[in-house]
Amino acid sequence: MSGCGRIIRGVIFDLDGVLVSTDEMHFQAWKELADREGIPFNRHDNERLKGVSRARSLDIILEKAARRYSEDQKSAMASAKNDRYRELLAVLAPRDALVGAGEMLTGLRAMGVKLAVGSSSRNAREILRRVDLLRLLDSVVDGTDVSRSKPDPEAFLLAAARLGLRPAECLVVEDAAAGIEAGIRGGFSVLGIGDPKLLTGAGRWLSGLSKSGAAELIAGW
Ligand code: BG6
Ligand code: MG
């Protein structure tokens, strides 16, 4: 939503694909698993995995599987994917924060804007520590804090509550269709990072955080 004359006092960032390019590592780890199982999986399919939980991601991949998997097999596959993903995360360093992310958080903080991350990932805190962005945030809501992942608004609503703000006072920044939907359902203003054709419903879009100044990001909602 935009153009309603809202004053933005808090910004809630998605993590993977907005602050850090870990969306590529998720893709690589799932792709290796899908290839091992002989399941077709490409970047187009991967768009549907963005923002949703690990278990839901696996269910989406298995829609194209030629055979059925038991719950035990699925849980083993989800763990194997996470083990591989965590191997890939081991090399993450501050240089892996996406261009403009640190500057945006620093700029907003200097303006007194409250900052949170609202992520479906159970690895979010470790990632934020590795890229050295954790210290710039007032609160982190991750996949261990919520029972319903995006497109449910639970993560964003909890993040707003922890910031002491109402949804109408917060801007959600998201790169996933599921996250855009979660923001809208929660009553937030929503900024899409990426292709407007894939991120319908957002009030505005940017190709990346480096494309805006901090004051510009929160003005005019
Ligand atoms: C989201 C990603 O941030 O986290 C999803 O966009 C991912 O693709 C989800 O499935 C869960 O991540 P994790 O680290 O708990 O497997
Ligand atoms: Mg994301």
Whether pLDDT at 1 is above 60: no
Active site residue 14: yes
Q: What is the DSSP string of 12-73?
A: EE-SBTTTBTHHHHHHHHHHHHHHHHT----HHHHHTTTTS-HHHHHHHHHTT-SS---HHH
Overall fold of domain 10-21+94-218: Rossmann fold (3.40.50)
Q: Please name which of 44, 53, 47, 45 lies closest in space to residue 23, comparing C-alpha atoms.
A: 47
Residues pairing with 73 in the sheet: none
Whether pLDDT at 207 is above 90: yes
pLDDT band at 95 (very low <50, low <70, confident <90, very high): very high
Task: Compute the average pLDDT of residues 144-153.
Answer: 96
The CB of 81 under 6 Å from ligand 1? The reply is: no
The CB of 9 under 6 Å from ligand 1? The reply is: no
The CB of 21 under 6 Å from ligand 1? The reply is: no
Maximum alpha-carbon separation in the chain: 54
Closest ligand 1 atom to residue 15 Cα is 3
Q: Please name which of 140, 158, 125, 143 lies closest in space to residue 57, comparing C-alpha atoms.
A: 143
Question: In the prediction, which pLDDT does 4 show?
Answer: 72
Residue spans of the domains in the chain: they are 10-21+94-218, 23-89
Terminal-to-terminal C-alpha distance of the chain: 7
If you average pLDDT over every residue of the chain, what do you get? Answer: 96
pTM score, whole prediction: 0.95
User: Ligand 2 centroid vs 182 CA: distance in angstroms?
Assistant: 12
The hierarchical CATH code for the domain 23-89 is 1.10.150.240
Task: Compute the average pLDDT of residues 179-202.
Answer: 97
Q: Are 51 and 151 in contact (CB under 8 A)?
A: yes
Question: In the prediction, which pLDDT does 106 show?
Answer: 98
User: Ligand 1 centroid vs 213 CA: distance in angstroms?
Assistant: 28
Task: Compute the average pLDDT of residues 123-151.
Answer: 97
